[in-house]
Structure 1
Amino acid sequence: NTLSSFKKLIVKNSNMAETETLDFSPHPPQLSDDNPTGNEDQDMLDADKSAKDSDSDSQSDSDSDSEDDAQQNTQIQALETELLNNPSNYDTHVQYIKASRKQGDIEKLRQAREAMSAIFPLSSEMWQEWTKDEISLNSGLDALPTIEKLFDCGVSDYLSVALWCDYLSFVQEHDQSVRTLSAAGISKARNLFERALVAAGLHVTEGSRIWELYREFEQAIFLTIDETDADSREKQVQRIRNLFHRQLSVPLADLCSTLLTYKAWEAEHGANLDVDSSNLDGLSPQVASSYQKALDMMNARTHLENQISHKVAPESERLQHFRDYLKFEQSLGDPARIQILYERAITEFPISSELWLDYTHYMDKTLKTSSLVRDTYKRASRNCPWVGELWVRYLLSLERSRASEDEISAVFEKSLQCTFSSFEEYLDIFLTRVDGLRRRLSLLTSGAESSNLDYIIIRETFQRASDYLSPHLKNTESLLRMYRYWARLESTLGKDLVAARGVWERLLKISGSVLEVWQGYIAMESEMGNINEARSLFKRCYSKRFPGTGSEDICNSWIRFEREYGTLDDFDLAVKKVTPRLEELQLFKLQEAKSIGVSADDGDNSSRKNVREKRKPVSNLIEEQSPAKRHKDKAKNVKITSEDGKGISKEPVKVNDKKPDVAASKPVSGSKKENRDVTSGKPQQYDDQCTAFVSNINLKATHDDLRKFFSDVGGVVAIRILTDKFTGKSRGLAYVDFSDDKHLAAAVAKNKHTLLGKRVSIAKSDPKGRKRGSAAPGTSLRQGDNADQTTESSKSGAKNSAEGSGGGLQPSSHHRASNIQLKGKNTFAMPRTVRPLGWVDKDQPKSKESDSVEDENPKSNDEFRKMFIKS
C-alpha cells in the first residue's frame, strides 16, 4: 500500500474505536482500578475529547496527503503528455523519473527509466539510483541476471569507478557461486575484476579503489585455503603479490600508501622490510624500478590532474585543460592511457561534439576495425545525435568491421531521424550509404561476396534523398553532385540508360537554369557515344540565359562539340544558331556595363562637372542643323503611340544618342501627365511636390537601406528605386517621397552623407524644371540634381527602350541613333523629369527673356547659340 492508503486505514480504525467507546445507555458507574473515582461519565467525556482531537489531526494529515497526491498526479500527467509530444526532451525524462520515484509507482518508474535509456545515455548517478532501487525490490536469484544487465548497461554509458565498485560488490554479495567461492564463482568474479581494471584501473585519482577490491577478494580466497595445502596457499600468495606489483607500476594518486601496504603484507609473509618508511630497500630491482617509473609519471601529471579537478573553473577552461592533458598523453603514445583520459573527458563533457569527434578519430586511427571502435561510435551518436559527421563515420566503421546489412541499415535509418544543422549533412549521410551499397554490390558482381543485395536499394536511397533534399538544395553544386552520381550508377551498375536520362531530366526540372546541369547531361551522352542526343541538348539550352558567362560558354561549347563530333552541315547549323545569340549577349553585356558605370559615378565629380558644363556652348550636332531641319527629322524617325493607344501623336519624341548627357522627351499632345505607365496602358502621374531625388547610391542598396538611412529624418511615404529594364538591377538612382516640406528639407540636409560606403547626392525633385535659359544643354533639369547621373540614366533608359522594341539587342554605336523609334512600352524607362529641348511650362508666366526667343521664324545657328549661353 502507498503511504496515502496506509493513512486512510489508520483513520478508519480510529473511527471504529470511537464508535465502540461512546456508549450512552444508562447504567451505574462501576468502580475499578481503571476508574478509581467512579466518575465514569467524566472519563468517557475526556476520552471522547481526546479521540476527537486525534481524529482531527489524522483527518488533517489525510487531507494534506491527498492534496500532495493530487499535485503529483497532475504533474505526472503533464510530463507524460509532454513526452508523448516530444520524446526527445532530456529534461522532461529526468523530471518524469523523479516524479515517478517520489510517487512510489515501481512499474511506472521502471518504464520511465527504460524509455529514457533507450534514447539517451544515463548519468552514473542515475544508474546507481536505478540499481539500488532494483536491488532493494528484488533480492532473489531470479533478479540477479536483470540487475547484472543493468550494471552492464550503466558502465558502458560513461566511465564511473563508483558504479564499477557497486557492480563488484553486488556480485560478491548476491551471487551465490561467488559468495561461496566455488570454482565457477571465482572465475566469474576474476573476469569481472579484470574488466573493471581495463575500464577504470588506470584512472589516476580513483582507480586504486578497484585494485583494492580485487586484492581483498583474492585475500578472502587465501583465507579459505587449508593450511595443509601449502602449494595452493603459495599460488594464492603469488597471485596477490602479482596484483601488488601490477598496481605499483601504474601511476595512481595513492601510490605511496600502496607501497606501504605492500611492504606490510610482505612482512606478514616472512619478508624482512621496513614497513614504516617509503624507501625501496629490500624490494626486488624489478619492482623498485617499476614503482619509481610510475612515481615519476605521476609527478609529471600532478599539475594536469589538479587543473582538470578544479570544479569551480568555467567549463570552457576545464575542457581546455583536458585537451592539454590529452596532448600530453598523446605525445607519450600510450593508447590505454589516452583512451581512459578520453573517457574521463566525455564523462565530464558528454555533449561536446568536438571532443567526440577527436575521440572517434583517434580510435579509428589506432584500432581501425575493432569492435571497441564501433561501440565508441554508438555512444558518440547517442550523446551528440545532431552531428552528421559522427553518423557518417559510424557507417564507415560498420562497413570496415564487416557488419551485416541489417545492422548498417538500422544505423542509417536511425541517423535520418536526427535533426542536423544543415541539409549538407543529410546529403553526406545519404551518399555515404550509397557508397557502401555500391562497394558491396561491386563485390557481389565480381563474385567476392554473396548476398541478397540488389541495385534497387541504391535507387530507393537516391529517390529518398531527392525527395527530401531537392527543395532545399535547389540550384546548388551539392544537388548536382548527387544527381550526377545517381545517373552514372543507373547507367553502370543498373544498366539502364533510360533511367539515367530520367535522372538528368528530373534535375533539369529542378535546376534547369544552372549551366553545370546541362553540361553534366551533355557530358554523359558524349562519353557514351550518343552524339545525336548530346546535340539535341545543345539545341535545347543554347538560347537560355545563364548567370555570368554561362550563356557564352554553352554557345562556344556547342561549336567545339560540332568540330570534334559533327559533320560540316552540323557545324554550319551550330554557327548559324549561335552567332546571333553571341552578338546579342555581347550587346547586352556592353549595355549593362554602361548602365552600371553611369550609376557608379562619384557625386562630387558630377557636381563639379555640372558647374563647368553650364557655360559650354551647344554641341556641334545642334549647330550643323537648323531647328526646322531637326523638327523634320523628328517627325520622320521617332514615333510614340498616343495616349489612347489608337493613334500617333503629332509631337513625337527625339532621343539624341550623340552626347552621353543629352536625353529629352516631350509630353504627349493634350496631356498634362508627367510620365506614362505604358505597360498597363494607363497614364500615371507623379507630382513630386515633396520628393527628394537621390543619386550615386550603392547598387546593392535596397528599400530598407534607404528607409533606414532616412530614419532619423522621418516622414518617408514611399521609395522608388530606378532599375534596369533587362537586368532588374539598381541604377543607383531613387525617388523618396516625404509627408511634408519639413521632412524633405531635413532629408536634403543629409546631402553627401555616406550610405553603404558611398556618398549619396540628395536634392529636391523639381518636376517643372528650370526656366529656359537657366541651364545649358546637357545639364540637369532638376534644381541641384547631379547632372551627369540624371541625364546619363535618362539616355540609358531611352536606349534600353529602343533596343527592346526591335525584338533583340542591336549593335551599340557612339553615333547619332537616327533610326530608333520609341513605341508603346519603349518609353517607360524614360525619367519623368526629362523635358524636350526648348520646352516651356505654360502654367508659368513668360518672362521677357522667354518672349524674346518665341520667334515664329527659325533662328540661325549663331542666334540659337547666343540664346543658351546668354548670362
Structure 2
Amino acid sequence: MAASSNAEQTQLQDMEEDDAGTEEREMESDEEEEVGMGVENSDEEEEDSSEDEKENEAEIQRLEEQLSINAFDYNCHVDLIKLLKQEGELFRLRKARQKMSELFPLTEEIWLDWLNDEIRLTEEEPNREKVYELFERATKDYICPDIWLEYAQYSIGGMGSPGGIDKVRSIFERAVTAVGLHMTKGQTVWEAYREFENAILSTIQPPPGRIPSREEQELLNTQLERIHTLFRRQLAIPLMEMEATYAEYEEWSEHGVPETVSNQYKKALQQMEKCKSFEESLLVAEPPKLAEYQAYIDFELKEGDPARIQITFERALAENCLVPDMWTKYTIYLDRQLKIKDLVLSTHERAVRNCPWTMGLWKSYLLALERHGADHQTVSDIFEKALNAGFIQATDYVEIWQAKLDYLRRRVDFSKESSKELEELRAAFSRSLDYMKQDVEERFGESGDPSCMIMQIWAKIEALHCKNMQKARELWDSIMTKGNAKYANMWLEYYNLERSYGDPVHCRKALHRAVQCTSDYPEHVCEVLLTFERVEGTLEEWDIAVQKTETRLNRVNEQRAKAAEKEANLARQEEERAEQRRKAKVDKKVQKKVQKGNVAGEKRKAEQDDYRNEWNQDSAPKRQRGNGDQNTEEYMETETGLFVRNAPPGYKHAPLGTKTVQQGGAAPAQRQNDGKPELRNDESSVFISNLAYTLEQPESKLRTVFETCGPIKHIRPVFSNKGNFKGYCYVQFETSVSVPEALKLDRQELEGRPMFVSPCVDKNRNPDFKVFKYNTSMEKHKIFISGLPFTCTKEQLEEICKGHGTIKDVRMVTYRSGKPKGLAYVEFSDESQASQAVLKLDGMEIEGNKISVAISNPPSRNMMDRPASSRPSTDLMPRQVYGSRGKGRTQLSLLPRSLHRQSALVSKVENGTVAEQVPATESATEETRPLSNSDFAKMLLNK
C-alpha cells in the first residue's frame, strides 16, 4: 500500500509538472503576442501623441500671439497656463505665470499649483530662497489659510540650516496672525504650529533614566512654556471645534487647565456661539455668498473687534474679489480705524489690482499714499497706472486728475514766488487740459468736464495764491469760449473772482458781458449789475447800466413771447390733428356698422323668408329631402321654435332666425338623444391652445394626454371652413373634478411644441379675463438674458447660471411655433444672487454669441393688449389707416369703386347751410331700399 501510494504521488507530481510546463509555454506565447501588439499599439500611441503635441503647440502659439495683442485677457492667461502644464513645459510655464501675476492677483488654486511645481524643481536645485520669495508674493494677493499652511510646512524642511528653527517660528507666527482667527480653517494652522513645537520638544528631552543638566532643564522648561502659550492663545480665540482643543490641553497639561485659561475659553466659546449662525449660513450658501458675508461683516462691525473685522473682510474678498463696493468698504474701514501703514497700503494695492476699472479705488489709493507719507515718485507712478486702467466714464478721468492736482497743490509753498513744485503744478494743469481734449474726447465723444472745473480751480489758485490775475482772466476767457457764456452762474463765478482779487474795472466789464451773453437767467445778472453800480458806479455808469439792462430784457421778452406763441401754435395743431383722428375714427366706425347692418339685415330677412316658406309647406320639420341620396339636410328643433342644423366643432350658432345647414348629417358628439344641441359646460371644460396646425388626428392624441386626468365626455378640435385644424380645441370632462388635474399639464410639450391649458371661460361674459398675466414691475430677484444662441437649451442655461446662486426657475422665450427667440428669464432665490449674476454674466460669450444680462424689468403692456371694455378709443390710432391687415405692399385699395362712392361723406343741408357731414351709407339707408345679394354681385362686377 505504501509503495502504491508513493507511485501515485510520483505520478501526480509528474502531471502537475507537465501542466505547469504547459501553462508556462502558453504564458510565454501570450507574452510574445502581447509584446507584438504592444509594439503596434505603442507606434499608434506615438503617432497620436505627436499629433496632439502639434495641436497643443499650435494652440499655445495662438494664445501667446493673442496675449501679445491684449495682455489683459484673463481667460487667455488661464488657458495658456493649463496647456503648458499639460505639455510639461515648466520653464515656459514659469514665464507665463510670472506675466499673469504681474497683471492680475492669482487665485488660491493657481498659486498652489505654481508653488508645488517650484518646490519639485528646487528638490534638484538647492536654492530655497526662490520658493520663499514666491510664497511671500502668494500671501500678499489674498489671505488664504491653505497657502500659509503650505508655506510653514515647506519652511520646516529647511530647519536644519543655520537659523532654520527661528525662521519656521517666524513664519508660523505670521501665519497665525494673518489667518489664525479664521473661524473654520484657522484651527489647522494652530495645530500645525503646536505639532512643530512638540517635535522640537521630543528632540531635547533626555532619555529615560537620565537626569537632565541645568542647561537642559532650562531649555526643556522654555519649550514646554512655548506649547502652553500656544494652547492658551488658541483657546482664547473663537474657532470651530474648539472643544476638542480644550480636551487635548486638559490631557496634555500635567497640572490641569489654569483658571484664567478656562475663563478665556468660556468667553471665546460664547463668541463662537454668536458667530455660529453666520458660519452655518456660509456653509450651506453657494458661491459667491455675497449677501451672507455682508451680514457677517455688519455683525462684526457692531462687535468692534478690529482683528475679527479684518479676517471677515478678507474671507469675503477671497470669494468676491471683483466687487468694488466690498473693497471700498474695507479700505474706508482701514483708513479711518486701523490706520496701519503697511496694512492700509497693501490693501489699497490689492483693491486696484482686482478692480482696476473703478476710479474711486484709485483715488482712495492716492490719498492713502499721501496720508502715509509715500515718496513723490511712488505717487506719480500710481497715478500713471490709474490713467492706463481703462475707466468706463469720461468723468472718471476728470476726478482722478483732480485728485492728482490736489496732491500737487498741497506740496507747493506759495510763500515763494517760484519753486519747482509750483512749476510742476502748472505743468500738470496744462497736461490735464490736453489729456481731456485729446484722449478723453476722442475715446468717449465728450469732454467729461463741460463746466471746466479744472480750469476754474486753476484760475482760483492763480488768483488766490499766486496773485496772477492776468493768468486767471485768460483761463476764464477759455472757459467762456467753450460754450459756458450762456449760463448766468458761470459769469457770476467769474465776477466773484474779480470782486475778491481783481479790480472794479474788470468787475464792470465782466457784468456787461454777462448781460449781453446770458440766456438762461438774464434778469439775475442784470440785477447784479445794477447793484454793483449802486455801490461802485457814477451817474453816467448807472445810466449806461440801466439802458443796457432794459434793452437786453426787452429783447429777451420778445424772444420769449415768440417762443410761447410758437409753442401754442404747435399745441393747437396737435389738438386739431388729434380731433381729426378722433372724428375719422368715429366716422369709420359708424360707416362700418352701417355697412354690416345693411348686409346682415338683407341676409337675415331672406333667410327668415326661406324658413317660413319651408315651414309652411309641411306641418313638421323634414328629416330628409331630395331623392333619397346620402347628401341630405338635417334639422333640429331648438327651444325658440326655430330650426338650425347641428353645428360642427368650433362653429358658433347663428342668431335667431338664421338658417344653417349641415351636409351629410350632424356629428354624433354634438347631439343628444332628444335631438337638441348639446351646450358646453365651462365648469368641466378646459381650453387647449398653441397646438401645431399640422397636428394629425388631434382628437385621439389629446385624448391620450388628458385621459389620465379623468373620464372625458368629448373633445372638440376647431377647424376652419376649409377643414384645416386651427391649433386649438375644447376638452370637456364628465365632472369638474378633472379640470385642476388638466390645468397641471399646462406647457407640456406635444410633438415638440408646448401646449397651453387654460380654464374655459366665456369672454363675452368675462371680457377682462386673461389667463397669462406676467409681472410688469421690476423683479429684482430675476434676470433677463438676451442674445442667446438659438441652440441654447434650458438645461445648458441652468448649468451656466447655477454657479451664481440658487435657481428657482428658468423660462426660455419662444415664438408660437416653439422656435426660440434667444431670450430667457432666470429666477434666483434672492436679489443679491441676481445682482451677482448680472455682474458676472453680462458680456459673457456662449457659442460665439455675446449675451446681455440685466435685472428683469418688463415693459408695461400697451393699450392694445388690454380688453376692449377698458380701452379708451381716443388714445389709439385707427387701425384702418393702413387697412385691416396693416400696410400692404402696393397700397392699392381692393374695395370696389361703387362702394367707395357710397362710403363718401355727404352733407345735410338745413336752412340753406351745411349742418354736418354724415356717411353716404347712412343717408342711403333712410332713402333707398336694402340691397339684395344680386345688387352686391352687380356692384362687385362693376368696373
Flag the 1:605–1:446 CA change in 2: closer, same or farther, 3 A: closer
Flag the 1:332–1:607 CA change in 2: closer, same or farther, 3 A: closer
**Out of 251, 261, 264, which is 1:264 matched to?**
251
**Out of 60, 64, 74, which is 1:90 matched to?**
74
**Residue 588 (structure 1) aligned with residue 569 (structure 2):** no
1:435 corresponds to:
406
**Residue 233 (structure 1) aligned with residue 220 (structure 2):** yes
Q: Any idea what the Cα deviations from partners look like across 1:608-667, whole Å, max 9, x if unmatched?
A: 9x99xxxxxxxxxxxxxxxxxxxxxxxxxxxxxxxxxxxxxxxxxxxxxxxxxxxxxxxx
1:554 corresponds to:
525
**Residue 161 (structure 1) aligned with residue 145 (structure 2):** yes
**Out of 328, 338, 352, which is 2:299 matched to?**
328
Aligned letter for 2:401?
A: F
Q: Secondary structure at the match of 2:284?
A: coil
2:425 corresponds to:
455
**Out of 469, 478, 501, which is 1:497 matched to?**
469
Q: Which runs of 5+ in 1 are unaligned?
A: 1-45, 272-281, 612-707, 717-735, 745-763, 785-871
Q: Secondary structure at the match of 1:115?
A: helix
Q: Any idea what the Cα deviations from partners look like across 1:84-107, whole Å, max 9, x if unmatched?
A: 222111111111111121122222
Determine which structure has the larger strand proportion and give its number: 2
Flag the 1:562–1:137 CA change in 2: closer, same or farther, 3 A: same
Flag the 1:350–1:714 CA change in 2: closer, same or farther, 3 A: farther
Shifted more, 128-137 versus 476-485: the winner is 476-485
**Residue 193 (structure 1) aligned with residue 172 (structure 2):** yes
Shift of 1:127: 0.5
Q: Any idea what the Cα deviations from partners look like across 1:152-177, whole Å, max 9, x if unmatched?
A: 1111111211111110111111x2xx
TM-score by length of 2: 0.55
Aligned letter for 1:499?
A: K
- Partners of 2:451 and 2:325 lie apart in 1 by 27
- Partners of 1:488 and 1:473 lie apart in 2 by 28
Flag the 1:140–1:445 CA change in 2: closer, same or farther, 3 A: farther
- Partners of 2:258 and 2:365 lie apart in 1 by 48
RMSD: 4.1
- Partners of 2:542 and 2:432 lie apart in 1 by 38
- Partners of 1:544 and 1:453 lie apart in 2 by 35
1:203 corresponds to:
182
Shift of 1:417: 1.1
- Partners of 1:537 and 1:441 lie apart in 2 by 30
Flag the 1:510–1:207 CA change in 2: closer, same or farther, 3 A: same
Q: Secondary structure at the match of 1:403?
A: coil
Flag the 1:137–1:457 CA change in 2: closer, same or farther, 3 A: same
- Partners of 1:765 and 1:407 lie apart in 2 by 86
**Out of 136, 140, 160, which is 1:179 matched to?**
160
Q: Any idea what the Cα deviations from partners look like across 1:298-352, whole Å, max 9, x if unmatched?
A: 12211110101224x364xx21111111121112110000100100000111111
1:511 corresponds to:
483
1:255 corresponds to:
242
1:303 corresponds to:
277
1:788 corresponds to:
none
Q: Any idea what the Cα deviations from partners look like across 1:495-542, whole Å, max 9, x if unmatched?
A: 543332232222223224441333333332332233333434444453
Flag the 1:53–1:369 CA change in 2: closer, same or farther, 3 A: closer
- Partners of 2:462 and 2:339 lie apart in 1 by 32
Aligned letter for 2:259?
A: P
2:52 corresponds to:
68
Q: Any idea what the Cα deviations from partners look like across 1:276-297, whole Å, max 9, x if unmatched?
A: xxxxxx4321111111111111
**Residue 245 (structure 1) aligned with residue 232 (structure 2):** yes
2:544 corresponds to:
573
Shift of 1:544: 3.1
Kindly indicate whether the alpha-carbon contact (under 8 Å) linking 2:486 and 2:518 is maintained by their aligned counterparts in 1.
no
1:374 corresponds to:
345
- Partners of 1:405 and 1:531 lie apart in 2 by 42
Aligned residues: 573
Flag the 1:475–1:458 CA change in 2: closer, same or farther, 3 A: closer
Flag the 1:246–1:104 CA change in 2: closer, same or farther, 3 A: same
**Out of 303, 314, 334, which is 1:363 matched to?**
334
Shift of 1:118: 0.7
Shift of 1:432: 1.0
Shift of 1:244: 0.6
2:259 corresponds to:
285
TM-score by length of 1: 0.60
Q: Which runs of 5+ in 2 are unaligned?
A: 1-29, 207-211, 584-874, 896-903, 920-943
Kindly indicate whether the alpha-carbon contact (under 8 Å) linking 1:395 and 1:408 is maintained by their aligned counterparts in 2.
yes
**Residue 143 (structure 1) aligned with residue 127 (structure 2):** yes
Q: Any idea what the Cα deviations from partners look like across 1:181-227, whole Å, max 9, x if unmatched?
A: x5x22222221111001100011111011111111121122222253
Kindly indicate whether the alpha-carbon contact (under 8 Å) linking 1:474 and 1:510 is maintained by their aligned counterparts in 2.
no
- Partners of 1:113 and 1:494 lie apart in 2 by 51
**Out of 384, 398, 401, which is 2:372 matched to?**
401
Shift of 1:561: 3.3
Shift of 1:66: 1.9
Flag the 1:225–1:50 CA change in 2: closer, same or farther, 3 A: closer
Give runs of aligned pairs for residues 680-699 of structure 1, distance below 5 A: none
**Out of 107, 120, 124, which is 1:123 matched to?**
107
Flag the 1:67–1:234 CA change in 2: closer, same or farther, 3 A: same
**Out of 481, 485, 499, which is 2:453 matched to?**
481
**Residue 223 (structure 1) aligned with residue 211 (structure 2):** no
**Out of 514, 524, 534, which is 2:497 matched to?**
524
- Partners of 1:375 and 1:107 lie apart in 2 by 29
Aligned letter for 2:260?
A: Q
Flag the 1:443–1:329 CA change in 2: closer, same or farther, 3 A: farther
- Partners of 1:532 and 1:446 lie apart in 2 by 26
Aligned letter for 1:322?
A: Y
Shift of 1:554: 3.4
Flag the 1:242–1:303 CA change in 2: closer, same or farther, 3 A: same
Kindly indicate whether the alpha-carbon contact (under 8 Å) linking 1:480 and 1:517 is maintained by their aligned counterparts in 2.
no
Q: Any idea what the Cα deviations from partners look like across 1:755-790, whole Å, max 9, x if unmatched?
A: xxxxxxxxx999xxx99x9689xx9xx999xxxxxx
2:938 corresponds to:
none
- Partners of 1:130 and 1:711 lie apart in 2 by 71
Shift of 1:444: 8.3
Kindly indicate whether the alpha-carbon contact (under 8 Å) linking 1:159 and 1:347 is maintained by their aligned counterparts in 2.
yes
**Residue 111 (structure 1) aligned with residue 84 (structure 2):** no
Q: Any idea what the Cα deviations from partners look like across 1:99-135, whole Å, max 9, x if unmatched?
A: 1211222222111111111111001111010011111
Shift of 1:431: 0.7
Aligned letter for 1:429?
A: I
- Partners of 1:136 and 1:765 lie apart in 2 by 98
Aligned letter for 1:114?
A: Q
Kindly indicate whether the alpha-carbon contact (under 8 Å) linking 1:714 and 1:743 is maintained by their aligned counterparts in 2.
no
- Partners of 2:337 and 2:414 lie apart in 1 by 27
Aligned letter for 2:277?
A: H
Aligned letter for 1:230?
A: Q
1:868 corresponds to:
none
Q: Secondary structure at the match of 1:143?
A: coil
Kindly indicate whether the alpha-carbon contact (under 8 Å) linking 1:251 and 1:295 is maintained by their aligned counterparts in 2.
yes
- Partners of 1:133 and 1:508 lie apart in 2 by 63
Shift of 1:461: 4.6
Aligned letter for 1:544?
A: C
